Amino acid sequence: MSSSQSVSIFIVEDNAWYGELLEYKLAQNPDYSIRRFTTAQACLDHLVDNPDIITLDYSLPDGQGDQVLRQIRERLPEVAVIVISGQEDVRTAIGLLRQGAYDYLVKDEETVDRLWNTVSNIRKQLALTRENNRLREQIGQKYSPERAILGESPQIQQLYGLIDKAARTNITVSLSGETGTGKELVAKAIHFRSERREGAFVAVNVAAIPRELIESELFGHEKGAFTGAVSRRIGRFEEAHKGTLFLDEIADLELNLQAKLLRVLQEREVTRVGGSARIPFDARLMVATHRDLGLEVKEGRFREDLYYRLLGLPIVLPPLRERGNDVLVLAQAFLREFCEQNHMPACTLSPAAQHKLQQYAFPGNVRELKAVVELAAVLADGDIIQPQDLSLRNGTTNGAEMGNGVTNESLRIQMANIVQNYLDAHNGNILQVAAKLQIGKSTIYRMVQNNEVRLR
């Protein structure tokens, strides 16, 4: 096909006059590429050209419509076949439609107009399908390991190999690493390289959902199951059917819900809150946490049986401070993307700014780096970012002692600094800041309530 708008049509009609009439009508649309055949065999011989639509005369000199339709569908199951017949036999029409014909038209004075409408409808469906395929291909490219997880360090090269191995099977994947290392990006890269890429990727941050709602969120609920349940709601497991379910911060799941999750994974079926029906699902599971799940098991906060059920293929994401020159590779990529999206002149990092980034430990990892360089692009006076444009936490250097020296408190302070800078730069627009930083708006509201940040 020459373009995303063109439609290839085969007209199979042994009556030369009638075939010319159909061709004349359809040829009024310049986007239709039309070829006409007078025998079934001639059409079958040219199926290698992969037409989008075939209009098929039911009675041909070398084959009946049902037989020809069967041969076409065997070789091109996606092609839309419109059968045109001189007989008004309802049973024949139903049989052909069940066999896979797109439509059945009877030859009369309205046939040509009905054919035009039918082909127009098919064309709209084809355009939608092509657009979906294009977007799916773009998404697949976006989440290819080399584009989603940038880096040249040995750790990242090893990560690419693990992503490829994970994508070949449906094995459960458990991702671990510090906050901001890109666990969800890795999960998406695996999903969009796997056989489940056509299905949905459903991400759930367990820690961000109120405890009283998490069961309903995961498994769904029936109407009237609890106060506020005004209608039935399917859960995330059902949404991820034929796709992938990604449970982030799985260590935050309460013990009683851990038991229910274990049962769901063992039975491969869910029961909605307030319901009794068992609903099977087919979803691949990936989980992530910044905690040590093994330690959580030892200290009694995580079920051992669930731990082994979820372990699958463990992938540990390295912190940014251990990735060497990757910090500059990522910084330049984030700058380029940010400037393009905001129609700004391209920015570069001065040698002094590069040195400052390399000396910083990045307790917030890749997420923090992205926020820092985007804010620097906004604060810079020109197209060269200077050290003073980089809002980094004082005293956090990239020394070996930082391996275990980053505390939850320092991470919260750093996150508050980043959020405050973004709120200042975006005039206190919480929704916009949440989208930019890829965090929940409830997180920012909570930080405001706790006086960690201020709306000026």
Cβ-proximal residues to 196 (8 Å cutoff; 6+ apart), any chain: 170, 242, 243, 244, 284
Mean pLDDT of 138-147: 51
Point out which residues pair with 361 in neighbouring strands.
none
Helix, strand counts (H, E) of the chain: 20, 18
Tell me the C-alpha distance between 62 and 41, whole Å.
7
Q: Among 321, 398, 327, 385, which Cα is nearest to 359's? A: 398
- Is 216 in contact with 234 (CB distance < 8 Å)? no
**Is the alpha carbon torsion for 314, 187, 140, 347 positive or negative?**
negative
Distances (CA, A) of 185 to 152, 181, 361, 383, 431: 17, 9, 21, 29, 22
Residues 6 or more apart from 70 whose CB is under 8 A from it? 99
Residues 85-98, mean pLDDT to the nearest whole number: 83
pLDDT value of position 1: 40
Q: What is the pLDDT of residues 150-186, one digit of tens each?
A: 888 999 999 999 999 999 999 999 999 998 999 999 9
C-alpha torsion 190→193→194→199, nearest 10: 90
Q: pLDDT-based confidence at 99, cuts 50/70/90?
A: confident
CB 65 within 8 A of CB 93: no
**Mean pLDDT within 332-343:** 91
Smallest CA-to-CA distance from 243 within 175, 187, 161 is with 187
Q: Which of helix, strand or coil describes residue 41?
A: helix
- Model confidence pLDDT, tens digit, residues 360-405: 999 999 999 999 999 999 989 989 999 999 988 765 556 533 444 4
Q: What is the DSSP letter of 412?
A: H
Averaged pLDDT of the chain:
86
279-288 pLDDT, tens per residue? 999 999 999 9
